[in-house]
Amino acid sequence: MTTKDILKKVRKIEIKTKRLSDHIFGGEYHSSFKGRGMTFSEVRPYAFGDDVRNIDWNVTARYRTPFIKVFEEERELTMLLAVDISASQWFGTRGQLKREMITEIVATLAFSATQNNDKVGLVLYSDEIELFIPPQKGRSHVLRIIRELVDLKPKDTQTNTAKALKFVYNILKKKAIVFLISDFIDQNYEDTLKIVGKKHDLTGVMVYDPMEKEMPDLGLITIKDLETGQAAFVDTSNSKVRRTHNAHFLKRHNYFKKAFQKAGSGIIWVPTNGSYIKKMLQYFNARN
């Protein structure tokens, strides 16, 4: 992909996702993820119905008329997007590739955070940490995040979620909003998840292709594991084979669900032929 193609794709993603963050997600994001507390803003004359506990007695005594303190939310939040870019993200049979949907989700979240003047950082991982972009503010920073997601080719093909979580824990010194976005093909990350979940406001976003859940009857086909490179002939006309395939997906899904719930963290899952917009809105609204 040439530089021109990359910039064109980034611009297309920006137009679509910025509109979503401006008109749909902005308010929900703001109310779902609270700031560190309330901070003093100004004083104004007392009005009927104001809380008398907020009266500023010094100013009131000076002007001999009641004034109250006005507070506003102190945000200064940091969002970190930890994104799986292993080889399995290039799979897709309906709608779009998993990586394409993940890129849109990342862009929408990043623009929503920027709209609220929050910092956004990025961790791209496979079996190793592929890239870390420290949290910053601003549109140009978000565009860099999208560009890296569109263009970066990972050095490794497999996934190590636990290693990514350990990295996140070590680089974030203060509490942050963390979205871990993956197809969660690997396991054995439950213990690390609990540690990160205690420190940060953590949400897992599982993106999957419908064919990973339900194998259609396509006869004899060749299936290749994109992460290991291993290929095998599979008779999809065999109902037992299809049931085994579904059971494997359910095991992966249930592990993801239970691991995040035990860590006290949120979960979103969305198929590539579904609406991540609807799923995210449901999640934000449920948090309010």
Calculate mean pLDDT across residues 188-194: 95
Instruction: Give residue 196's Cα distance to chain centre.
Output: 15
One domain for residues 193 and 51: no
Residue-wise pLDDT for 130-160, tens only, equals 999 999 999 999 999 999 999 999 999 999 9
Residue type, position 240, single letter: K
74/51 Cα distance (integer angstroms): 20
| Cα–Cα separations (whole angstroms), residue 157 to 59, 125, 196, 227 | 64, 10, 24, 5
One domain for residues 81 and 70: no
One domain for residues 158 and 206: yes
Note the pLDDT of residue 38. Answer: 55
- Of the two residues 265 and 40, the one the predictor is more confident about is 265
One domain for residues 18 and 118: yes
One domain for residues 49 and 125: no
Q: Which of 74, 92, 124 is the last residue in one of the domains? A: 74
Calculate mean pLDDT across residues 180-191: 94
One domain for residues 92 and 148: yes
Note the pLDDT of residue 5. Answer: 77
One domain for residues 158 and 83: yes
Nearest by Cα to 239 from 208, 259, 216: 216
Q: Radius of gyration of the chain from Cα atoms?
A: 23
Calculate mean pLDDT across residues 59-70: 87
Domain boundaries, position 53: 37-74
One domain for residues 43 and 80: no
- Of the two residues 112 and 125, the one the predictor is more confident about is 125
Structure tokens at 284: 């934000």
Domain tally, the chain: 2
One domain for residues 65 and 206: no
3-state secondary structure the chain: CCHHHHHHHHHHHHHHHHHHHHHHHHHHHHHHCCCCEEEEEEEEECCCCCCHHHECHHHHHHHCCCEEEEEEEECCCEEEEEEECCHHHHCCCCCCCHHHHHHHHHHHHHHHHHHCCCEEEEEEECCCEEEEEEEECCHHHHHHHHHHHHHCCCCCCCCCHHHHHHHHHHHCCCCCEEEEEECCCCCCCHHHHHHHHHHCEEEEEEEECHHHHCCCCCCEEEEECCCCCCEEEEECCCHHHHHHHHHHHHHHHHHHHHHHHHCCCEEEEEECCCCHHHHHHHHHHHHC
Note the pLDDT of residue 52. Answer: 84
Contact 233, 222 (CB under 8 A): yes
pTM score of the predicted model = 0.82
One domain for residues 150 and 212: yes
- Residue 96 confidence class, pLDDT cut points 50, 70, 90: confident
| Cα–Cα separations (whole angstroms), residue 219 to 212, 213, 226, 238, 241 | 16, 17, 21, 8, 11
One domain for residues 186 and 105: yes
Note the pLDDT of residue 4. Answer: 72
CATH number of the domain encompassing residue 271: 3.40.50.410
One domain for residues 25 and 150: yes
Residue-wise pLDDT for 13-37, tens only, equals 888 788 777 766 666 776 777 655 5
Q: Which of 24, 59, 74 is the last residue in one of the domains? A: 74
Residue-wise pLDDT for 258-268, tens only, equals 999 999 999 99
Q: What is the mean pLDDT of the chain?
A: 87
